[in-house]
């Protein structure tokens, strides 16, 4: 079984979908940059260790990423899964986990990168948005795309409707894509 760490900042609905799935991995650690976020309660319920931190408590990104790296190494983590983690991953983690960090984003990248992608799509009045899963590089939502699925936006949809539609797709596509990444990785190692 591949050991993964999930990084999240909010409610953790994608964390929950990963925990509820049948992937060939064990979630060994939740990394959360918002102490008290609901995702921590989800992790506790599933008996997953939590490393929670406040970025402002560190003088640099490198320092808090070094602390995260120690936690990851202590548990022999092999794959990082970003699930609503609202920070750019810095060089400390990128170097150590190059090609082994994946992220989910609520748009069809390269359209609407960054914060509030659903709001950006809604304001742009597009007819189709969607979900992208990609490898993480040093840019904002610029890494190689692994999987995408479109989501149709109807004229009568509210922003909340679009968010619900996108999350429904995320909760199916993310675990499936994580499993595909793990399977490809295991085939390449053997």
pLDDT in tens, 99-131: 999 999 999 999 999 999 999 998 999 999 999
Look at residue 171 in the predicted model and tell me its pLDDT.
98
Here the CATH number for the domain that contains residue 133 is 3.40.50.170
Say if residue 189 is exposed, middle or buried (CB neighbours under 10 Å; 0-12, 13-18, 19+). exposed
Domain extent for 51: 2-189
Tell me the per-residue pLDDT of 136-161, one tens digit each, with 9 for 90 and over.
999 999 999 999 999 999 999 999 99
Please give the tally of structural domains in the chain. Answer: 1
- The token duo for 49 is 């260790």
Residue 151 neighbours by CB distance under 10 Å: 21
- The token duo for 3 is 């050991």
- Residue pair 117/103 in contact (Cβ under 8 Å)? The answer is no
Catalytic site includes residue 134: no
From 46, 105, 134, 171, the catalytic residue? 105
């Amino acid at each position: 079984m591949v050991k993964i760490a999930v990084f999240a900042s909010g409610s953790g609905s994608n964390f929950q979908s990963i925990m509820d799935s049948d992937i060939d991995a064990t979630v060994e650690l939740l990394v959360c940059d918002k102490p008290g976020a609901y995702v921590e309660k989800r992790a506790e319920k599933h008996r997953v260790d939590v490393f929670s931190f406040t970025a402002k408590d560190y003088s640099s990104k490198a320092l808090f990423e070094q602390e995260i790296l120690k936690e990851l190494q202590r548990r022999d983590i092999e794959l990082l899964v970003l699930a609503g983690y609202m920070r750019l991953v810095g060089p400390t983690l990128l170097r150590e986990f190059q090609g082994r960090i994946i992220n989910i984003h609520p748009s069809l990248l390269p359209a609407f990168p960054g914060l509030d992608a659903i709001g950006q799509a809604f304001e742009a009045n597009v007819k189709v948005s969607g979900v992208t899963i990609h490898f993480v590089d040093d840019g904002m939502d610029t890494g190689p795309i692994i999987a995408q699925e479109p989501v149709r936006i109807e004229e009568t949809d509210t922003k909340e409707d679009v968010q619900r539609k996108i999350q429904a797709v995320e909760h199916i596509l993310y675990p499936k894509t994580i499993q595909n990444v793990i399977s490809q990785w295991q085939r390449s190692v053997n």
